Chain A
Amino acid sequence: MGDSQYSFSLTTFSPSGKLVQIEHALTAVGSGQTSLGIKASNGVVIATEKKLPSILVDEASVQKIQILTPNIGVVYSGMGPDSRVLVRKSRKQAEQYHRLYKEPIPVTQLVRETAAVMQEFTQSGGVRPFGVSLLVAGFDDKGPQLYQVDPSGSYFSWKASAMGKNVSNAKTFLEKRYTDDMELDDAVHTAILTLKEGFEGQISGKNIEIGIIGADKKFRVLTPSEIEDYLQEVE
Chain B
Amino acid sequence: MTKEAIDMPQKGGFSFDLCKRNDMLLQNGLKMPSFLKTGTTIVGLIFQDGVILGADTRATEGPIVADKNCEKIHYIAPNIYCCGAGTAADTEAVTDMISSQLTLHRYHTGRESRVVTALSLLKSHLFNYQGHVSAALVLGGVDVTGPHLHTIYPHGSTDTLPYATMGSGSLAAMAIFESKYREGLSREEGVALVAEAIRSGIFNDLGSGSNVDICVITKGQKEYLRNHMTPNPRTYVSEKGYSFSKKTELLSTKITPLRETVVVIEGGDAMEE
Contact = CB atoms under 8 A, between A and B. Distances in A.
B103 A96 contact: no
Contacts of A124: 1
25 contacts: A1-B1, A67-B107, A68-B107, A88-B108, A91-B104, A91-B108, A92-B104, A93-B5, A95-B103, A95-B104, A96-B4, A96-B5, A96-B100, A97-B5, A98-B100, A99-B5, A99-B96, A99-B97, A99-B100, A100-B5, A100-B6, A117-B2, A120-B1, A120-B2, A124-B1
A9 to B, nearest CB: 14
Given A92-B104, A96-B100, 5 more contacts: A68-B107, A88-B108, A100-B6, A116-B2, A124-B1
Among all A-B residue pairs, the 9 with the closest Cβ atoms: A96-B5, A99-B100, A91-B107, A95-B100, A100-B5, A95-B104, A95-B103, A96-B6, A91-B104
A98 B5 CA distance: 10
Contacts, number: 30
Interface of A: 1, 67-68, 88, 91-93, 95-100, 116-117, 120, 124
A120 B1 CA distance: 7
Interface in B1-44: 1-2, 4-6
Given A1-B1, A120-B1, A99 B108 contact: no
B130 to A, nearest CB: 24
Contacts of B107: 67-68, 91
Interface of B: 1-2, 4-6, 96-97, 100, 103-104, 107-108
B79 to A, nearest CB: 16
The A interface, classified by DSSP as helix, strand, loop or mixed, is helix
A223 B107 CA distance: 18
A91 B104 CA distance: 7
Contacts of A93: 5
A68 B2 CA distance: 19
Nearest to A92: B104
A100 to B, nearest CB: 5
A51 to B, nearest CB: 23
Contacts of A92: 104
B2 A99 contact: no
Nearest to B103: A95
Contacts of B5: 93, 96-97, 99-100
A99 B104 contact: no
A88 B97 CA distance: 18
Contacts of B1: 1, 120, 124
Contacts of B108: 88, 91
A120 B3 CA distance: 12
A148 to B, nearest CB: 21
A68 B103 CA distance: 11
A101 B260 CA distance: 27
B34 to A, nearest CB: 27
Nearest to A63: B110
B214 to A, nearest CB: 24
A63 to B, nearest CB: 9
A31 B1 CA distance: 30
Contacts of B96: 99
A207 B42 CA distance: 52
Contacts of A1: 1
Nearest to A89: B2
A92 B2 CA distance: 13
Nearest to A93: B5
A138 B4 CA distance: 24
Contacts of A98: 100
A98 B4 CA distance: 13
A175 B100 CA distance: 41
Nearest to B96: A99
Contacts of B6: 96, 99-100
B44 to A, nearest CB: 26
A136 to B, nearest CB: 15
A221 B212 CA distance: 41
